[in-house]
Structure 1
C-alpha cells in the first residue's frame, strides 16, 4: 500500500520552506523561482490580486500599506498585548481590532485575520509542493517556535485548515532542527539547539540516543529576532538623517519601506564583510522640491554595538534553560545554530563563548527546520521508521483558584503528550456551579498569566463549603494543544472543553475562509489555464506568421495564395480571441489555429 506523503513546513517569520522525504532522503523543494526559501510576505494589489512570496516582496516599496511581513509575530495574540502595540508603531500596514479582541490586518477594504494571512503563505507552499510532486499534498507537519503559546499553536492549526492542509502534527522548531541534525546517524549526545530566526528565538536542550530525541528543557522569546536587528539599523539611520535634515523618515511609508530593505541588506552584508555602503538616493523630497539623499557607510563593529544587547538577551535565556535542565555548560556535547540570524559573526562568537565550544556546522540554518518537519511527517506514517520524539510543553498550565491565585497542574518542560489531574473543593456553602478558568504561564498571580479559556461545571449538589470534591484534569496533545475536563467526584457530572481562547476564530468564520480560499484556488487555476492557452495561441501565431512570410515567394501559385488568405484570417481571429477571457473559446481557437498551421505547412511542402 502506498504510504502517505506528508510535507514538512517551516512557517518562518521572514522566510518559509517546504520539504519532503522520499526514499529515506529529505529534500527541500524549490519554488518557481528556483529558491529553496520563500519570503513570508503577502500583498494585495490595487486590482485586488493576491501576491505571496517573492512577488509580494518586489512590490513592497510602492505598496507598503497593503503588504504584510512578519505576521507570525502577531498570530494568536490579543489586541491589547504589548507586542501588538509595538507592531502598530513600526509596521506600515494597518493593524485593527477584530470581533474577538483579536488582531486583524486591513488590506485594501478587507480585514484579514492572522490565521488567514498565514494560510495564504501555507497555500503558496502547498502549490510549490504540488508542482514538485505532481499532486496536491493533503497532510503536513508544521513547525512553530518552541515558546509559542496554546493560542498561537491553535491559530497555526486554523491557518492549515483554511489552506486545505491537514496539519497532522505541530512540532517545535528547534526540535525539528535536532531531527535534521541526528536523523540516520549514530549519535549519543546532549545537544543545544540555538534558534535565532527572523522574528523569534528558541533554545532547546535535548538528549539524542539510539533514535530517541528527548527534549530536556526549552525556552525562548516570541518577539526577538532578525526584525529587531533590522529595527536597530533603521533607528540609527533615521536618527542620523533627522539630525542632519530635520526630517523624520519614519512618517513616510515609502521611505520607511526602502529603509527596511536597506537595513536587511546591510545586516546580511555585514555577516561577510567588515563594512557596507547604504545608498538611498531621493529618499525624501522637501516641500520646496529639494531632493534629499541618504548615503552612509556602516561597519560591522557599529552594527554589533547597536544590537549586542539583543544577543545578550538570548544568552540570558540559554543560561536559564540550562538551569531548568539541571545541566552545566560542560554537559553540552554539541551546539547547533539554526535561523538566518545565526550567520551573524557576533552571534556565533557569543554562543561559542557561553557554551565553551564552537557551534556545529552540520545543518543548514535556513533548511534544517523544514527538513526535520518532513522527517517527523515520514516517521508518523512509516512503521519501519525508528524515531521517538519526546518534546515538552514550554509553559506551565493550570487554573485560577479562589483569591486570584494560579495553581499549576502541568509544569513547564513536562514531556508531552501528558495529562494530570488535581482535586479541588468548593469554597462556598450550597455552591451549585463552579467556573473553571484555564491559564498558561509562570506567575503565581493568575492575572499575570495568559487566559486560555473558561467553562462552567453546573448541576452540583448543595453542600457546605469544602465538602464537594471536583477533579480537574489537563491533557496536552503531541501538538502542545490543551484540553481540560472537570468532574464532580460524587455525582460524576462532567464538563470538558478543548480549550479555545476567546480571541480564536469561530467555526463558521473558519468555514467561510475555507470557502473563499477554494474560490481563490479555482480562479487561480482558471487564470493559469487561461494564460497557458494564451501562450499557446501566441506561439502558433508566430509560427503561422513565419509560414506566411515563407509563402511570399509563391505569389503565382493560386493554391498557396488561397491558403495564405485563410491563414491570415485565422491569425486575425486568434488576435481577437486573445483579448477575451473565455477559457473554452480560447482553447477552441488554439485547436483551430493548430489545425490551420498544419494545413498550411502541408501546402507549402507540396509546393
Structure 2
C-alpha cells in the first residue's frame, strides 16, 4: 500500500474509454486529459514520425485515411483474451499489443503528472491499475505494459471489488448488505452480486457479456439513421466511409446528451 507521503492513482483501462483518478483531500478526483476530457479513448496510432494517444488518435481516424498512417490500433482489440504464443508471429503480435498498451499508459500518466505539476522523474509513484478482463495472460500483459510506461503497479483489481471498497463504509454502519453491481462499459457488460460486511466481500454470483457495451448502442443508432436517410433521400450511405464516420460521431454525442439529461 502507499505510504502517507505517496499518492496512488487509479487507471481504469476500458475497452473503449479509459480514465485516470487520484484520491486526495478525502475525495476522488478524476484527472482530465490534455483535451480537457475526463475520459480518453483507448486508441493509439502510429505514423512515420509520431505517436498519437486517445482523442488525437480518434480524431485522426475520423479523417480520410492518409498513407503515412500506416498503423492505427484500437486497444480494445488488444484487450481480448491473449492466446499462448506458439510461433514467432504470435509472439510478435503479443509483444506489439503489450508495447501498444505501454505507449497508451505512458501517455495517460504523463497527463496525470502534468495535472499535479510533477517533473517526469517523479512520475514513477505507486499506481493502482485495473483492466477490464482479468485472465492470467492479460494480468501479465498489464504488468509488462506498466513497466514499459515506467509505472509501479501496486495492484490489479477488478471492477466489482473496486465498487465494493467504496460501499464498505456504508455497510459498516448498517451491517451486512447485499449489493448488485451493474457495470455497462463501452465494450463489455458485467453484473455481480456481492455481500459486504465490515471489509469482507463475498461474491455470490457473476454474469456478463464481453461483447456488449455502449458501442453496440452506437451501432444501432448508426444503422437506424442510415436506413432513415436512405428511406427519405433514396441514397445509400453505407459505402461512404466518411459519411458513416460523421454519423457515428453525431450518434455518440446524442447518446451522451440523452444519457446525462434523462
TM-score by length of 1: 0.36
Pair 1:100 & 2:100 matched = no
In the other structure, the counterpart of 1:322 is: none
Query: 1:197 aligned to 185, 201, 206, which one?
Result: 185
Q: Equivalent residue for 2:109?
A: 126
Equivalent of 1:115 in 89, 94, 98: 98
Partners of 1:16 and 1:37 within 8 A in 2 = yes
Distance 2:142 2:93 in 1: 14
Residue 142 of structure 1 is matched in structure 2 by: 129
Distance 1:103 1:253 in 2: 28
Q: 1:64 to 1:180 in 2, by over 3 A?
A: farther
Structure 2 residue aligned with 1:512: none
| 2:45 corresponds to 1:43 | yes
The whole-number CA distance in structure 1 between the counterparts of 2:153 and 2:260 is 38
1:413-438 deviation digits (Å, cap 9, x = unpaired)? xxxxxxxxxxxxxxxxxxxxxxxxxx
1:187/1:208 contact within 8 Å kept: no
Q: Match of 1:77?
A: 81
- Note the C-alpha offset of 1:39: 2.5
Distance 1:254 1:73, change over 3 A: same
Query: Would the alpha carbon gap of residues 103 and 173 (structure 1) be closer, same or farther in structure 2, given more than 3 Å must change?
Result: farther
Task: Give yes or no for the alignment of 1:220 onto 2:208.
Answer: yes
SS at match of 2:161: helix
Q: Which runs of 5 or more residues in structure 2 are unaligned?
A: none
Task: Say which of 222, 228, 231 aligns to 1:234.
Answer: 222
The C-alpha deviation readout for 1:7-36, integer Å capped at 9, x for no partner, is 211112232221223355433223334433
Cα distance in 1 for partners of 2:117, 2:250 equals 37
**Contact 2:237/2:244 (<8 A) preserved:** no
Correspondence for 1:17: 19
Q: Closer, same or farther in 2 for the Cα pair 1:113/1:242, shift >3 Å?
A: farther
Q: How many residues align?
A: 247
Cα distance, 1:163 vs structure 2: 1.5
With CA pairs under 8 Å and 6+ residues apart, which has the higher RCO, 1 or 2?
Answer: 2
Task: Describe the shift of the 1:159–1:260 C-alpha distance in structure 2 as closer, same or farther (beyond 3 A).
Answer: farther
- Which of the pair has more CA radius of gyration? 1
Q: Would you say 1:265 and 2:253 are equivalent positions? A: yes
Question: Contact conserved, 1:38 with 1:53, CA < 8 A, in 2?
Answer: yes
* Residue 59 of structure 1 pairs with residue 47 of structure 2: no
Return the match for 2:141 from 145, 155, 163.
Answer: 155
Task: State whether residues 64 and 257 of structure 1, in contact with CA within 8 Å, keep that contact through their aligned partners in structure 2.
Answer: no
Change (3 A) 1:270 1:3: closer
Q: What is the deviation of 1:176?
A: 1.2
Decide whether aligned partners of structure 1 residues 187 and 223 sit closer, same or farther in structure 2, where only a CA change above 3 A counts: farther
Q: Per the alignment, do residues 160 and 270 of structure 1 end up closer, same or farther by CA in structure 2, a change over 3 Å counting? A: same
Distance 1:241 1:102 in 2: 44
Q: For 1:247, which of 226, 236, 246 is the aligned residue?
A: 236
Deviation of 1:51 (Å): 1.6
| Distance across 2 between alignment mates of 1:257 and 1:191 | 39
Q: What are structure 1's unaligned runs of at least 5 residues?
A: 80-97, 105-111, 274-344, 346-607
Q: Report deviation, 1:202.
A: 0.9
**Alignment partner of 1:178 is 2:164:** yes
1:2, 1:265 → 2: CA distance?
A: 41
Shift of 1:128: 1.9
For 2:185 and 2:243, the matched residues in 1 are separated by: 25
Q: Does the 8 A contact of 2:44 with 2:54 survive in 1?
A: yes
CA distance in 1, matches of 2:17, 2:63: 21
Instruction: Flag as ranges the 4+ runs of structure 1 deviating above 6 A.
Output: none
CA distance in 2, matches of 1:102, 1:256: 33
CA separation in 1, counterparts of 2:244 and 2:144?
Answer: 32
Cα pair 2:165 2:199 within 8 Å, conserved: no
Structure-1 residue corresponding to 2:10: 8
Cα distance between partner residues in 1 of 2:260 and 2:10: 30
CA RMSD of the aligned region, Å?
3.2
Relative to 1, partners in 2 of residues 1:26 and 1:68: Cα closer, same or farther, differing over 3 Å?
same
1:221 Cα deviation from its structure 2 partner? 1.6
Distance 1:248 1:59 in 2: 21
